Homo-oligomer: A and B are copies of this chain.
Amino acid sequence: MRWIRYEAEGQPVYGIVEGDMVTAVRGDPFAGYEKTTTLRPLSSVKLLVPVEPRTFYCAGLNYAEHVIEAAKKRGEEPKLPEAADIGYRANNALIANGEPIVIPSDATERVQYEGELVAVIGKKAKHLSENDALSCVLGWTIGNDMSERTWQTGDRTMWRAKNTDTFKPMGPWIETDFDLDAAQTIIRVNGGERFRFKTNSMIFGPATFISRMSQYLTLYPGDVVWMGTEGAPENLKHGDTVEIEITGIGTLRNPVVREGR
């Protein structure tokens, strides 16, 4: 099942995508819903971020080649994470599929994509075993963890490097039927493929993260867990369009503009 969140008469509503059409629901996929008889063409709706999380989790470093390449650029020895220690991102930075990523005028040219799988939590959960961990997941979406690398290195925290407004595109929808083992993540800029990796080649998979997190914290419906990216991302510039495709989910596509241009 494919869930979208969109705007209808100025209000956010959830709908179920079937083919090219959307069936509006009353309620939402978390607290419960019933289908209405309202059908709209998918192409006619304004997509919203598929969920506004109560807590926005992000694995950060979670693919070996990405850790190695990032360390090489800083002239440091790579250090692979030894445990599934989760990090955070911020809701102010979320934008939907199709909305522009706005690079601040004082950012350097080192503004880069990171294509990520996102687990969307569907049920309140605590103390889950690794075997049961995915039972709290409603479905999967796609995130682009946009990063300004000079701020990421120079600032004491990652606040503006990672959480500048518009730096967290998420969408286009939540897919509940997803084969993680079969999935590939593909990154394209202006239609040209830049990088491709096996989505499940993570250092710690979603079950490992969610189980470990849930030993100390309660996961809530609507929380999201971004799973990290692979490879050495490249710079984006004004006028580019960046796409993150995860096969079996869909494609998250956003234009890039520089403030004041």
Q: How far is the CA of A87 from the CA of B86 in the complex (A)?
A: 15
Q: Which residues of B contact A104 (CB under 8 A)?
A: 215-216
Shortest beta-carbon distance from A77 to chain B in Å = 16
* Interface residue? A256 (CB, 8 A): no
**Once the chains bind, are A217 and B90 in contact (CB under 8 Å)?**
yes
B-contact bits for A139-162, CB 8 A (1 contact / 0 none): 000000000000000011101100
Whether the Cβ atoms of A159 and B93 lie closer than 8 Å is no
Q: Is A91 an interface residue (CB 8 A)?
A: yes
Given contact pairs A86-B157, A86-B159, A55 touches B91 in the complex (Cβ within 8 A):
yes
Complex Cα gap A90–B87 (Å): 10
A195 at interface, CB cutoff 8 A: no
In the assembled complex, how far is the CB of residue A61 from the closest CB belonging to chain B, in whole angstroms?
8
8 Å CB interface, A113-130 against B:
126
Please give the count of copies of this chain that the complex contains: 2
* 29 A-B pairs in the complex with CB atoms less than 8 angstroms apart: A54-B91, A54-B92, A55-B90, A55-B92, A60-B156, A61-B156, A83-B156, A85-B155, A85-B156, A85-B157, A85-B159, A86-B157, A87-B159, A88-B88, A88-B157, A92-B217, A92-B219, A92-B220, A104-B215, A104-B216, A159-B217, A160-B216, A160-B217, A163-B216, A163-B217, A164-B216, A164-B217, A165-B216, A165-B217
Query: What are the 5 tightest A-B residue pairs by CB atom distance, in nearest-first order?
Result: A85-B156, A160-B216, A87-B157, A164-B216, A85-B155
